[in-house]
Amino acid sequence: ANPGAPGLAFLEIETGPYWVEPSSEAFAPSDRSVNLAAHDIEWSSTKDAAWVTSKGSKADAEFADLWGDPAPGQSNARFLKIAKDASVQVRFEDSDVRAVVIKGAVEHRVPNVSDPVGLGPGGFFRTDAAVVNALTCLEDVCVVYLRTR
């Protein structure tokens, strides 16, 4: 590579699936990247959120909708911010829920089913509909990315 000069990259994929379609069948996926500065995130109280409960105060957690429609059955993503030492339970009606720890250290467990698992930044879990997932923040503040559908 020569800085400041035009370049060309060749990428060889050794194994499939390739997911390459003819241009006549091209489409734009519905997922889009979201770039947010931390100070631009608008946090809301979980006080009236049916999908999250807290063993302590509902003030122990806040959420921020990122994209999509939060109605059941619709694709969406949100952040969940949990205060230090707070334990919350999250449950969704959708069949495919994915979670990634963005900040902090979280203890994750499915009550009466699994032992606690420690998750740091980049740690993730996937769950099905109606499964209750217990999350406990082990650091000053924890932020978890939640994507449904």
53 Cβ neighbours under 8 A, 6+ residues apart: 88, 89
Q: Is 91 helix (H, G, I), strand (E, B) or coil?
A: coil
Query: Which residue has better confidence, 30 or 48?
Result: 48
pLDDT over 70 at 10, yes or no: no
> Which amino acid would we find at residue 71?
A
The single residue listed with the structure tokens 């980049």 is 122
pLDDT in tens, 74-126: 888 999 999 999 999 998 887 788 999 999 999 999 988 889 999 999 999 99
Average pLDDT of the chain to the nearest whole number:
83
Query: Phi and psi of 5, rounded to 5°?
Result: -105, 150
Query: Which residue has better confidence, 72 or 104?
Result: 104
5 Cβ neighbours under 8 A, 6+ residues apart: none
- Residue 73's pLDDT is what? 80
- Residue 9's pLDDT is what? 59
